[in-house]
C-alpha cells in the first residue's frame, strides 16, 4: 500500500469558445420532468454542464458486479448499495457506478440521495480513469463525500480517496491510498471499518 498527499488538481472543465451557460440542478430536474431529457439520454449533470456518460464495456460492467457482490454482505443494517443511480450534490447529479447509502429506501421515492445519505462512492475506471480521478474526485470532494474508491482497471488496483477538503481550490481529497492484488481495502462507513474487502474480489 502506498500513500500520497492528494489527488489530481484540475481547475475547471474546459469551456467551449462560443456562448453557453451552466444550469442548476433544479433546472436539470425541470428538463427531466418536462421530457426534454429522458432516461434514454446517456447524460449526467456535472458542475452545471450536461455531459455524455462514458460508454461501458464488459470488463467495466464486470467490475461493478464484483464490487456490489463483495460489499453488499458486509453492510450494517439500513445501509444499501445503489448501482448506477443518480445522486444529487449542490451543482451536479452524477450517476456513480456504486453508491453506498444509509436510510429507508422509500425515502428516495421523491429525491435522489444527497451527501448526508452517502457513506461511499465507487467508480470503475478504464478509459475514464483521469476523469474519475480528477473531475469526479473534485465533485465528490466538493460535496464532502467521505470516502471515494476508484477501481482502476488499467493498473489493476483500487485507489481510495478520503478526508475531503471542500474549501480547497479546486476541492480535493487530502489523502490517497493505493491497494494492489493480495491486499485488502478497508470498508469504512461513518468513520468505522465494517469489513476488509480484498482487491482480488474487486478487480476482474
What confidence tens digit (pLDDT) does each residue in 69-97 have? Answer: 999 999 999 999 999 999 999 999 999 99
Q: Give the pLDDT score at 55.
A: 76
The full set of domain ranges for the chain reads 2-202
Q: Please say whether the beta carbons of 167 and 184 come within 8 A.
A: no
Residue 6, classified by CB atoms within 10 Å of its CB into exposed (0-12), middle (13-18) or buried (19+), is middle
- Which pLDDT does position 14 carry in this prediction? 62
Percentages helix, strand, coil for the chain (3-state, rounded to 5) are 25, 35, 40
Residues in the chain: 204
Mean predicted confidence (pLDDT) in 48-64:
88
Residue 57 clears pLDDT 70, i.e. is over it: yes
Name the region of 90 (left: φ>0; alpha: ψ -120 to 50; beta: rest). alpha
Band of residue 8 on the pLDDT scale cut at 50, 70, 90: very low
Q: Which whole number is the average pLDDT over 147-165?
A: 98
What residues contact residue 116 under an 8 Å CB cut-off, 6+ apart?
A: none
Confidence (pLDDT) at 204 = 93
The domain over range 2-202 is classified in CATH as 3.90.1570.10: yes
pLDDT at 7 over 80: no
Contacts of 136 (CB under 8 A, 6+ apart): 46, 94, 96, 123, 148
**Whole-number Å distance between alpha carbons of 160 and 178:** 6
**Planar angle of CA 78, 194, 141, nearest 5 degrees:** 80
Q: What is the pLDDT of residues 96-145, one digit of tens each?
A: 999 999 999 999 999 999 999 999 999 999 988 999 999 999 999 999 99
Distance CA 61, CA 63 (A): 5
Cell matching residue 141:
470532494
Amino acid at each position: 500500500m502506498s500513500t500520497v498527499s492528494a489527488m489530481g488538481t484540475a481547475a475547471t472543465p474546459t469551456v467551449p469558445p462560443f456562448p453557453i451557460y451552466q444550469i442548476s440542478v433544479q433546472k436539470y430536474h425541470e428538463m427531466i420532468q418536462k421530457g426534454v431529457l429522458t432516461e434514454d439520454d446517456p447524460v449526467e449533470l456535472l458542475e452545471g454542464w450536461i455531459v455524455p456518460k462514458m460508454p461501458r464495456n464488459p470488463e467495466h460492467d464486470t467490475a461493478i458486479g464484483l464490487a456490489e457482490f463483495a460489499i453488499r454482505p458486509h453492510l450494517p443494517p439500513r445501509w444499501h448499495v445503489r448501482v448506477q443511480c443518480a445522486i444529487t450534490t449542490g451543482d451536479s447529479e452524477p450517476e456513480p457506478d456504486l453508491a453506498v447509502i444509509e436510510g429507508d429506501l422509500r425515502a428516495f421515492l421523491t429525491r435522489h440521495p444527497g451527501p448526508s445519505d452517502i457513506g461511499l462512492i465507487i467508480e470503475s475506471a478504464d478509459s475514464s480513469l483521469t476523469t474519475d480521478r480528477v473531475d469526479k474526485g473534485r465533485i465528490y470532494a466538493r460535496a464532502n463525500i467521505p470516502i471515494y474508491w476508484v477501481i482502476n482497471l488499467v493498473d489493476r488496483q483500487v485507489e481510495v480517496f478520503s478526508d475531503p477538503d471542500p474549501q480547497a481550490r479546486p476541492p480535493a481529497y487530502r489523502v490517497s491510498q493505493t491497494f494492489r492484488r493480495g491486499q485488502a481495502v478497508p470498508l469504512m462507513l461513518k468513520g468505522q471499518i465494517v469489513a476488509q474487502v480484498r482487491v482480488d474480489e474487486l478487480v476482474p
